Amino acid sequence: MSETCVVGKSAPRVDGPAKVSGKSQYGADIDIPGALFLKVLRSKTPHGMVKRIDVAEALKIPGVVRVFTHADVPGENSYGIIVKDQPALTDQVRFRGDALALVAAETEEAAKQALEVIKVEIEELPPLYDVWSAMAEKAQAIHAKGNILTVSRVKKGDAAAALRTAAVVVSRRYTTQRVEHSYIETEAGVAYMDNGILVIKAGTQNPHYDRRDVSRVLGLPMHKVRIIQAATGGGFGGKLDISVQCFLGLAALKLGRPVRMVYDRRESIAATGKRHPFLVEYTSAADREGKLLAVKAKIIGDTGAYASYGPATLNRAAVHATGPYEVPNVDIEALCVYTNNPFSGAMRGFGTPQMAFAAESQMDLLAQELELTPLEIRRRNVLRPGSLTATGQRLDHSVGISATLEAAWEKAGRVMPGLGGEVK
Amino acid sequence: MLNLSAYHQPKSLPEALALLGSSGRALRPLAGGTDLVPALTKGETEPLGLVDLSRIPELRGISRVDNQIRIGSLSTFGEIENSPLLLAVPLLREAAAAVGSPQIRSQGTIGGNIANASPAADTVTALAALDAVARLESAAGSRSVQVSELLCGVGQTKLLPGEVIKEILFQVPPQGSRSGFVKLGRRKALAIARMNLALVITFEAGRISRARVALGAVGPNPSRRPALELVLLGQEPSRTLIDEFAMAASKEVGQMLGTRPSVSYKREAVKGIARDLLQRLFFGAGQVVG
Amino acid sequence: MEKFQLKMKVNGRTVTVAVEPGLRLLDVLRDVLHLTGTKEGCGEGECGACSVILDGELVDSCLVLAPQAHGKEVVTIEGISREGELDALQRAFLTAGAVQCGYCTPGMILAAKALLSRNPNPGRQEIARGISGNLCRCTGYAKIVKAVELAAAELQQKEGAAGV
Ligand code: FES
Ligand code: FES
């Protein structure tokens, strides 16, 4: 009988040998003879309405087969994991990098040359680069429903009352930056028609969602679309969103020829999602013994031009705003806001790393006020079996944070002797 | 792919000079290519024709005759870092070792580092401290110019059309000298220097009888700083001297950068690299050359 | 313009191809010779995914124009294993769990190979320096360093055994 139990053992990776010998095929490695090269013309303007796209000159370049614009999108020209707000090819520019036209050509050179000569007329609108201007009363709406996309709230107890009577109250404002995933493989893939079925092979973290969005944008029934995940060179959340898939699908479907596409690093950085920059106004209150009494926070996440995973990220941020600590009174509000920045989506931790920065900084500040050590204030507040979370969930099984904290402290003491002079 | 108008791979220097001389500026010399190739790929440099210098034996090799060292301009950073002939000039080996990454060091060349005229070029700071001279060749003849004189701004050199750097020449510092190079980058590898510093100090009877100090990435090109040399001259090595030098370096950087946004950072940071390097040269192990 | 008659040795085999001189060595390997184990991550010498060994030296093939490789010998990841047998480094990367997405792996292995050929018994710092031109976004490097140590130890042992 074959060994079935692998728990607790190091099992060899099934894809390991292919990867160490260079045989794994990533999106850009797939050899499809006769494939056309695709390139996207991206907007240099951050905000505006597309008035006209003139592709006549581009079509004269030898080797250029076709140039697609928003007018050529056969289905619903909008995709998105949570909100369908991102066009495959757009007639309204919402960030510098929005896709305006797609060139298919016999060679990469011809496709690149074509990008140079496509003329685009855009009626520019004032760009909204920060959440405050985007939330201002008279701000131009980036999407029809306005610039505040979602508001998530977590409320427990009476935070206002607790803040009025607490022994110590600490209030600070935190900002975190936009972060690029920089997976080492840029977005790439191929597509072809196979017996009336559109096949797309690309690096992705989300083949099933890709399939849904591709079929929507191309107006094809789901069973006519097949997505095959090519070996994927890192994603970290960034490859959950559509990148090359709709372009590949559109061109293969319309032209009936295999197509391929690779983003270079610049395009990868310019066109794809980022970690949400956060702005957090955070107030914490504790009693004399350092027990947390209340947390009140307002979180604003800049989701940029499109929602992507924004609503979920801000929701997660609200839920995790109190960190791994038990807080009896909680009042959190998290807003997901559109701006004309590159869009923000999923990235490792989904809004919680940003909140950890704020929440842990608050703990240190409270400790300082109370003349406790940073370790001690955490010991007194970590979630334990039986604790109630900010959302009111009773943790009645195991809760690891206390043991983790002690183990980390013990290890820190070993690798950094005399750490902070703190007495255990 | 780059659209090159021509690609030549001459096998001798006269052949290369003839090609370059007759082309006006239509042909560009190609050394290691670590800067030029990506610049061309990204369209930052107008694609012209290239004259690949890599097959020209006259441009290669490192040699020493008496106290003079000659480095062929196509010598790579890796060759310089590992050349036993250059043990006498730790600052240059250290500067070469600080460039880019193993990949860049096996391809990038010292001649390219000069001709590229980056304010942060690591080996150029060391060459400035060595008072190195570049021998230039063209179809019309040859001339020698101090490396620091050859550079005249960010990305600008006084190289004439059709002229190439053939070799770099300098004297080994006198008996009793110590030298070193230090670089401040955002990370250890593949970082363009935020600042770099090269020093040659000669001791005679316990006092500093000769000092060469060069700073990079604080002006358009790396250059010697006579004011800082004066701080060291005639002094005995001591902790106080290190402090004085660090303060003077901070002042010098402040003056050089004026109101540039980087001034407040670099004015502080230079103290750190100055202290590290002087500490090492004054009190570090070994290293006196003779 | 006129094509360049490029002749070089790739993984032990002589190849002669007429190429546009503006092609990078990386493009020749991937698009002309279909050796797609060599990857492009940045195209400007920052990531090392395109690393190959050129005449014994580790280079970024995205920074080398094809004609610059003329007359030289290139080793790519496809030339590391012999007759389908994985090389010590390749095995060590698997054992140490130094491969996640695998996209940096070919370049990383070549960087390690170049290091070990020069310094068969490198310390941690030397390994770190040897792979400093290669970015890995997944593993965090500790396991990669471990893998290089493992391979070095295995090769040393073999040497030792052969010497007896
Ligand atoms: S692709 Fe060559 S170094 Fe990144
Ligand atoms: S394993 Fe993914 S980048 Fe190294």
Pairing of strands A48-54, A119-124: antiparallel
- Model confidence at C8: pLDDT above 60: yes
Residue of A nearest to B3 (CA): A109
Residue A109 parent element (H or E): helix A108-117
The pLDDT, as a whole number, for residue B191 is 83
CATH 3.30.365.10 fits A132-179+274-374, yes or no: yes
Q: What would the pLDDT profile of A72-123 be if each residue is shown by its tens digit? A: 999 999 999 999 999 999 999 999 999 999 999 999 999 999 999 999 999 9
> How does residue B290 score in pLDDT terms, banded at 50, 70 and 90?
very low
Tell how far CA A376 is from the center of its chain: 35
- Model confidence at B56: pLDDT above 90: yes
Query: Tokens 């989506």 correspond to what residue?
Result: A345
The pLDDT, as a whole number, for residue A3 is 60
Helix axes B122-129 and B90-97, enclosed angle (nearest 10): 170
The pLDDT, as a whole number, for residue B285 is 59
The pLDDT, as a whole number, for residue A370 is 97
* Listed residue (B135, B6, B152) closest to B68, CA to CA: B135
- Model confidence at A420: pLDDT above 60: no
Contact C103 A10 (CB under 8 A): no
Using the Cβ of C52 and the Cβ atoms of chain B, whether some distance falls under 8 Å is answered with no
Residue A167 to residue A288: CA distance in whole angstroms = 6
Q: Which CATH number fits domain A21-124+182-271: 3.40.50.20, 3.90.1170.50, 3.30.70.1520, 3.30.565.10?
A: 3.90.1170.50
- Going from N- to C-terminal start, the domains of chain A cover 21-124+182-271, 132-179+274-374
Q: What is the CATH number assigned to the segment(s) C4-79?
A: 3.10.20.30
- Model confidence at A348: pLDDT above 50: yes
Burial of A208-231, coded b for 16+ CB within 10 Å and e otherwise, reads: ebbbebbbbbbebeeeebbbebbb
Residue C18 is encoded by which pair of tokens?
A: 């007429």
CA distance A243 to chain B (A): 22
- Model confidence at C107: pLDDT above 50: yes
CA distance B192 to chain A (A): 19
Residue C103 to residue C49: CA distance in whole angstroms = 7
Q: In what order do the strands lie in the sheet with B27-30?
A: B7-8, B49-52, B27-30
- Model confidence at B109: pLDDT above 50: yes
The pLDDT, as a whole number, for residue A108 is 95
Residue A232 to residue A237: CA distance in whole angstroms = 12
Residue A6 is encoded by which pair of tokens?
A: 């692998």
Whose atoms come closest to the Cα of C48: which ligand?
1
Q: What is the CATH number assigned to the segment(s) C88-163?
A: 1.10.150.120
The pLDDT, as a whole number, for residue A233 is 98
A and B: number of Cβ contacts within 8 A: 4
- Going from N- to C-terminal start, the domains of chain C cover 4-79, 88-163
- Nearest CB to C67 within list B41, B52, B102: B52
Q: What would the pLDDT profile of A130-139 be if each residue is shown by its tens digit? A: 999 999 999 9
Residue A147 to residue A131: CA distance in whole angstroms = 9
Residue C88 to residue C90: CA distance in whole angstroms = 5
Residue pair B14/B58 in contact (Cβ under 8 Å)? The answer is no
- Nearest CB to C47 within list A181, A184, A264: A184
Find out whether the beta carbon of C141 lies less than 6 Å from any atom of ligand 2. Answer: no
Whose atoms come closest to the Cα of C50: which ligand?
1
Q: Which of residues A327 and A416 earns the better pLDDT score?
A: A327
Q: In what order do the strands lie in the sheet with C73-75?
A: C13-19, C4-10, C73-75, C51-54, C57-60
Residue A369 to residue A367: CA distance in whole angstroms = 5
* Listed residue (B43, A213, A318) closest to C43, CA to CA: B43
Using CA atoms, how far residue C140 sits from A9, B46, B134, C51, C88, in Å, is 22, 39, 43, 19, 21
Contact C1 B4 (CB under 8 A): yes
Ligand 1 binding residues, C-beta < 6 A: C 40-43, 45-50, 60, 62
